[in-house]
Structure 1
Amino acid sequence: MSAETAAPVVPAAHAPIVLEKAIVRSPKAPVILGVFALLALLAAFAFPRTGTTRFGLSTSRDSIQLDPIPVSTQPVVAVIAVLLALLAILAAVIVARGRTGKLPLWLTIVFAVLFVVAFLTWAVADGLLPFTGLLVGALGVSTPLIFGALGGVLSERVGVVNVAIEGQLLFGAFSAALVGVATGSAAAALIAAAVAGMLVSFVLAAFSIKYLVDQVIVGVVLNVLVTGLTTFLAGVIDVDKIPASARFATVPIPLLSEIPVVGPLLFRHSLIVYFMYIAVFAVWFGLNKTRWGLRLRAVGEHPKAADTVGINVGRTRFWNVSLAGAIAGIGGAYLALDAIGLFSKEMTNGAGFIALAAVIFGRWDPVRAVLAALLFGFATSLQNSLSAAGVTAVPKEFLLMLPYLITVLAVAGLVGQVRGPAAAGKPYIKS
């Protein structure tokens, strides 16, 4: 046999080994859905409520008034409970036999919507629930969470764990109130909030990137520092009387704001909320469709490889963490200049930590993180709406713990096993 025709023989012992990625099937998500389906079944058949539940679709400011939608409480709850049980069984089958071992997003969303409808129908039996007001309130509560979640996604995708979202929101709110009182300008107050959030991020970036201090510890310390600093300054400086000129008023979009349900929900807000719509799209587009986003994700996943091709890892991390802080600071401005209209100590009330949970629940994706923030905001708005409607079927203490309960269940139960950015939390030392 000639050398040209001879084929190399690879001994079996040295044959290349192909490793297949193991599929991790976690039963947590189907179990959680099964528990909620069981609760719905108990509400429908063990603790039934009769009567008619009415869902109000119009607000007092709507030019087009719609009559409330009446539904028969017991039959609707029973039908939805059975559907939830079937969806829980389907979820178990998908996780057991699926290729990825994960639940599809659509199934989780459909299950959540059906459960919420069943719960509201059961809880407000023989009453009226202002459903459009509930949704509008949910978007309002979710706005600072969305800004914080977007900042968290940017920071962690570039490789820096951002536990300081709470401090960025709080310092942004204080700075917006302070500048608003001093200047009477809403634009100046908004810029001040962004700068304040950026300053908190400067400290986080400097200690974690340059001095290689543990990022989680730095974030926790910053939260405590900002809480103490703003509490002290608020006691010395009067920031609880923000003039009307420094607050963002509602700016309805002509025609669109008059569409029933959709108009009040999306097109009857202040400029900060409209800016939030733009920020969500900009962060998604920038991360996934631009060279800036590619470099950011490369630094967060494999900083050594990014350094090899000429990307300055430290500089990329520093400026993107600063940008994340500015976005979170604007969320704080919304609290002081729009939602509440004043500054009070610890007014964020843990919103930064819920935003961080939204980042994890959203798997470090901006769109998923926004959906998670909307879920947590809806839980808070639901608590307020049911309390205002005088619902007695659900204990008041349960309503108070509802937002945090949903947060824990979402992150610990539904999110399953996820992997964040590979280099998040790991300092990069140039070799």
Structure 2
Amino acid sequence: MTTEWIAKNRTTLIVTVVVLVAAYVFYYAANDIAPSMYTSAWGYAIPLVLAALVGVIGERSGVVNIGIEGQMLVAAFAGFFAAAYSGSLIVGVLSGIGSGLILGGFLAWTTVKWRMDQIIAGVVLNIIATGITSFYYQPGKLLPGLMPSFDVPLLSMIPLIGDVFFSGTSIFATLAIVAALAVHFGLFHTRWGLRTRSVGEYPSAADTAGINVERLRLINVTLAGSLAGCAGVYLSMDASSSFERNMVAGRGFLALAIMIMGAWRPLRAFVMAIFFGFINAVASQLQQSGNIDVPPQLTGTLPFVVTIIVLAIAAGRVRAPGAVGQPYVKGDQ
């Protein structure tokens, strides 16, 4: 960590320190409600982190993925019912992740190879996902067991951070953290990341440099679908033990907003997801405390209201990748 890096990121470091201090103060000052609120916030944030990373990888490659909602929904459906019928959680997890990959490949092929409008392709994916999961839904099915939990050695012993992130955690919670770190490192410190950012910013220049723009976009958008699959499986097999129609409940769209507010950077998106998780935890706490007489449907909209406010504040302060949403035709630019 050089002096130049510290000077460049001084504001970020100051905000991080202030937030951490405030979090620890609240954790110890209100230890009757703070631990449960933090745990609830992280539980809500896990699928948002995974889904936001799907958007980051796609848009850094130049492809808008409006279909994250549908990918998560189909993965939740496929994972839950595959596990219920097979009697194996592993089969369910693999089925959910596989469905995410298939739908990621569908979106990649229609937008990159067929050059279909990316917004329309995502909307079509969402409509198909809603129709399929509603038509084939069968009530009364049960999972063969609960997803296993574990403590991460050493890290689970850290006050607050260990209790929330690494104690009694699940594979998907740990995956969300590892994936955010891995995607950040990959995008900004590897050859793959340099090439991905180049095809998302200036694909004609990348093509001139010998990068196969279409192939890289196809690979990135398809593989990113596995993260959407993990997010969906988490919702139906880890956060709950059942599948309900439209259970994703707008999280895919919220993840896109988180991606934008995170400036298309994985770690910032990770932080924003936790922020919205905490907002949801605050809404739940207000409802449970009985201090306010507000219908739960109204308090449930709080994260989305905050999303609109933060997006309005952030408008014009972040810049999307230069070629996002634009199909690339060799020789046209």
TM-score, length-scaled by structure 2? 0.87
Q: 2:50 aligns with which of 130, 134, 147?
A: 147
Q: Which position in structure 1 is the counterpart of 2:148?
A: 249
Q: Distance in 2 between matches of 1:240 and 1:374?
A: 32
Q: Which position in structure 1 is the counterpart of 2:85?
A: 182
> What is the total number of aligned residue pairs between the two structures?
320
Q: Which position in structure 1 is the counterpart of 2:171?
A: 271
Local SS of the residue matching 1:383: helix
Q: Distance in 1 between matches of 2:300 and 2:17?
A: 25
Q: Distance in 1 between matches of 2:14 and 2:162?
A: 27
Q: Distance in 2 between matches of 1:295 and 1:153?
A: 14
Local SS of the residue matching 2:238: helix
Q: Distance in 1 between matches of 2:22 and 2:290?
A: 21
Tell me: CA distance 1:418–1:258, structure 2 relative to 1, closer, same or farther (3 Å).
Answer: closer
Q: Which position in structure 2 is the counterpart of 1:208?
A: 111
Identity of aligned residues (%): 39
Tell me: CA distance 1:416–1:207, structure 2 relative to 1, closer, same or farther (3 Å).
Answer: same
Contact 1:387 1:396 (C-alpha < 8 Å) held by counterparts: yes
Local SS of the residue matching 2:301: helix
Deviation at 1:252, TM superposition (A): 2.3
User: 1:373 aligned to 2:273?
Assistant: yes
Q: Which position in structure 2 is the counterpart of 1:24?
A: none
Taking the TM superposition and a 5 Å limit, the aligned residue runs for 1:77-96 are none
Letter in 1 for 2:178: I
Q: Which position in structure 1 is the counterpart of 2:307?
A: 407
Structure 1 residues not aligned, in runs of 5+:
1-99, 121-126
The C-alpha deviation readout for 1:184-218, integer Å capped at 9, x for no partner, is: 32232222111111111122111111111110111
Q: Distance in 2 between matches of 1:283 and 1:128?
A: 34
Tell me: CA distance 1:256–1:351, structure 2 relative to 1, closer, same or farther (3 Å).
Answer: same
User: 1:324 aligned to 2:213?
Assistant: no
The C-alpha deviation readout for 1:305-364, integer Å capped at 9, x for no partner, is: 111121111110001000111111101111111101111110000000000001111111
Q: Which position in structure 1 is the counterpart of 2:135?
A: 232
The C-alpha deviation readout for 1:131-151, integer Å capped at 9, x for no partner, is: 011001100000000000011
Q: Distance in 1 between matches of 2:90 and 2:276?
A: 29
Q: Distance in 1 between matches of 2:302 and 2:111?
A: 35
Q: Which position in structure 1 is the counterpart of 2:3?
A: none
Local SS of the residue matching 1:252: coil
Deviation at 1:111, TM superposition (A): 8.2
User: 1:173 aligned to 2:88?
Assistant: no
Letter in 2 for 1:344: E
Contact 2:89 2:144 (C-alpha < 8 Å) held by counterparts: no
Q: Distance in 1 between matches of 2:21 and 2:292?
A: 22
Deviation at 1:256, TM superposition (A): 4.5
- Alignment root-mean-square deviation, CA: 2.8
The C-alpha deviation readout for 1:77-126, integer Å capped at 9, x for no partner, is: xxxxxxxxxxxxxxxxxxxxxxx9xx9446766887899999x9xxxxxx
Q: Distance in 1 between matches of 2:181 and 2:21?
A: 28
Local SS of the residue matching 1:391: coil
Q: Which position in structure 2 is the counterpart of 1:74?
A: none
Q: Which position in structure 1 is the counterpart of 2:41?
A: 138
Of the two, which has the highest radius of gyration? 1
Q: Distance in 2 between matches of 1:298 and 1:312?
A: 11
Q: Which moved more, 1:255-264 or 1:287-296?
A: 255-264
| Higher relative helix content | 2
The C-alpha deviation readout for 1:223-250, integer Å capped at 9, x for no partner, is: 1110111111114xx5741110xx4122
Tell me: CA distance 1:107–1:416, structure 2 relative to 1, closer, same or farther (3 Å).
Answer: farther
Contact 2:74 2:100 (C-alpha < 8 Å) held by counterparts: yes
Tell me: CA distance 1:406–1:115, structure 2 relative to 1, closer, same or farther (3 Å).
Answer: farther
Contact 1:287 1:293 (C-alpha < 8 Å) held by counterparts: yes
Q: Distance in 2 between matches of 1:429 and 1:397?
A: 46
Q: Distance in 1 between matches of 2:330 and 2:182?
A: 31
Q: Which position in structure 2 is the counterpart of 1:73?
A: none
Q: Which position in structure 2 is the counterpart of 1:385?
A: 285
Q: Which position in structure 2 is the counterpart of 1:297?
A: 197
Structure 2 residues not aligned, in runs of 5+:
1-7
The C-alpha deviation readout for 1:383-411, integer Å capped at 9, x for no partner, is: 11222222228786653321111111111
Q: 2:98 aligns with which of 172, 183, 195?
A: 195
The C-alpha deviation readout for 1:22-54, integer Å capped at 9, x for no partner, is: xxxxxxxxxxxxxxxxxxxxxxxxxxxxxxxxx
Q: Distance in 1 between matches of 2:309 and 2:132?
A: 33
Q: Distance in 2 between matches of 1:170 and 1:192?
A: 13
Q: Distance in 1 between matches of 2:14 and 2:315?
A: 13
Tell me: CA distance 1:227–1:354, structure 2 relative to 1, closer, same or farther (3 Å).
Answer: same
Contact 2:287 2:294 (C-alpha < 8 Å) held by counterparts: no
